[in-house]
Amino acid sequence: MENMEPAKENGDVAKSEEITKRSIRVQVWKKLLEQKAATHTNYVYNRITNFVGAEKAAALLADTQEFKNAQRIKINTDKPQEPIKLLALGAGKPLYVSPVRDSNALLAKIEAPADADLTVQKQLIRPQALRENGQEIPYDTDMKLDMIVIGSVAVDRDGRRIGKGNGYVDLDFALLVDCGVITNDTLIVTTVHDAQVSDNLQLELFKSYDVPVDMIVTPTEVIRVAKRLPRPKGIEWNLLSNRRLGIVPVLKVIKEKKEESGTAIELKAEDTDVETNRKPRQNRNKRFMRRSRKPRNSENNGDNNENQRNRRPRRKFPRRRSERDNQNGQENPDKPAGDRRRGTLHSNNICIKVTNISKNIRVKDIKQEIRKRGCNPHFISWKNGRCFLYFHKPATDLEQATEDLLNSLANLKVSIQNEEQVEEVELRVEVMKMNQDRNNKNDLNRIETTDVTAV
């Protein structure tokens, strides 16, 4: 990738030619969209973007000698680094992550059972399950990390890194350095797409608190930085506000301990931690706002007022167009109800039908049981006592995603409270194979049902 230049976000013209971290981020996000390197086009800006080939980059990292030798690895919670977590658990390594937000712990440790399959491992790394599966590690631990894996928006081959702009990775790194968990022997690794790698980033953009990297892994290559860049020495308290201490509770604990030992700590008076370059969110309902009408002349004011009272109120939102057949104008009965609410392609959807639902089974109980198994449908539709679960998955790994969902929903049971006892009802699970024939518009949706209850 060439040297970074000023960029425009969503077609906005850049106000100046000055190169900033924000302009580099926007340019990288646009490049990921142009090269179709992002897995979801709606989740690109203002985040660590999940990229195509994240699994390949994780496999390359797992094949390095540095990863094999590392026994204690911390991996950030960004989406592109999830495959690395699965490979670390699969290799029998303990996984270290950031704790839940309201915890005073420094880290959380996750260990998978020896006989854990891929479904169990995916369940363990879910952020929602961290409170149950994570073992909290206090700030005064003597444990040392061998490797940390972080996400990035842009990096160069000299090891300079730019994140998404909130500063949480830099703060987390400084916190671990201050507690002695990260040492000079700890290897800093990032996995990115090839489009996110630059030859060099502007040196004057980086400060003492910016975290560099020692190894860059893309889907096609492993880049080892020849000369290690200076690292942050610890927490720079004068750059933090009281609000940031409230977000990271362990910071407040460490601050109190240092002040008890006689160390004077002064925080930043003005809260400027939030990035100021982000544009405010526009009012989405602005186009539906109705302008107030004035009477044309004063003579007809009485008539106008009467017409205003008799006039039917205008709808705030437009009516939803019902999907009709192009030939006879009738609704297509073969089209699933959920597809009328979402404009998703059938080739990228997995539809699972749940039946054997009696009248005394609550919808709430079914949803809770599905979520307990780590399945979060894109949306749910109901028709004639049947439940349809729609999952939006990448088309590149549709078969594996379907198999994982079927394994998670195997032996799906819901408890029913009768007058005398509690009864468990086993629900029937079927996968709906939706084949899209683009050449034949009259037969756009053909649904084949396969019984997979025995899986």
What's the pLDDT tens digit per position in 193-241?
999 999 989 999 999 999 999 999 999 999 999 999 999 999 999 888 8
pLDDT for the residue 42: 86
The residue among 37 and 281 whose pLDDT is bigger is 37
Please give the CATH number for the structural domain made up of 350-431: 3.30.70.330
Backbone angles phi, psi at 287, to 5 degrees: -70, -15
Counting other chains too, the contacts that 254-260 makes at CB distance below 8 Å and 24 or more residues apart are 254/139, 254/175, 254/178, 254/179
pLDDT for the residue 37: 92
The residue among 416 and 188 whose pLDDT is bigger is 188
pLDDT for the residue 342: 45
**332 exposure class (CB count in 10 Å sphere: 0-12, 13-18, 19+):** middle
Helices in 301-414 by DSSP H: which ranges?
Answer: 301-310, 363-372, 398-408
The residue among 244 and 281 whose pLDDT is bigger is 244
What's the pLDDT tens digit per position in 369-389?
888 888 888 888 887 778 888
pLDDT for the residue 329: 45
pLDDT for the residue 4: 52
Contact 76, 150 (CB under 8 A): yes
pLDDT for the residue 154: 95
Q: Is the pLDDT of residue 109 over 50?
A: yes
The CATH number of 21-224, from 3.40.50.10420, 3.40.190.10, 3.40.50.2300, 3.90.1150.10, is: 3.40.50.10420
pLDDT for the residue 285: 53
pLDDT for the residue 404: 82
Q: Is the pLDDT of residue 13 over 50?
A: no
What's the pLDDT tens digit per position in 404-455?
888 888 888 888 776 667 778 888 888 886 654 444 443 333 333 334 443 3
Q: What percent of the chain has pLDDT over 70?
A: 73
Please report how the helices 82-90 and 54-62 are oriented relative to each other, as an axis angle in degrees rounded to 10.
40
What's the pLDDT tens digit per position in 400-416?
788 888 888 888 888 87
Establish how many alpha carbons lie within 13 A of residue 228's alpha carbon, considering only the half-sphere containing its beta carbon: 10
pTM of whole model > 0.75?
no
Q: Give the integer Cα–Cα distance in Å for 195 and 381.
A: 39
Name the least confident of 150-154, 250-254, 294-298.
294-298
In DSSP notation, 247-288 reads HSHHHHHHHHHHHHTT------SS---S-SSSPPPP-GGGGG
Q: What percent of the chain has pLDDT over 90?
A: 38
Calculate the average pLDDT of the chain: 78
For the chain, the domains span: 21-224, 238-273, 350-431
pLDDT for the residue 393: 74
Q: Which residue has tokens 């709606």?
A: 42
Q: Give the integer Cα–Cα distance in Å for 215 and 61.
A: 9
User: Which tokens hold the place of 373?
Assistant: 């198994």
What's the pLDDT tens digit per position in 317-358?
555 554 444 444 444 444 444 444 444 444 557 888 888 887
Instruction: Place 246 in a pLDDT band, splitting at 50, 70 and 90.
Output: confident
What's the pLDDT tens digit per position in 16-56?
568 899 999 999 999 999 999 999 888 899 999 999 999 99
Instruction: Place 304 in a pLDDT band, splitting at 50, 70 and 90.
Output: low
Q: Give the integer Cα–Cα distance in Å for 325 and 226.
A: 63
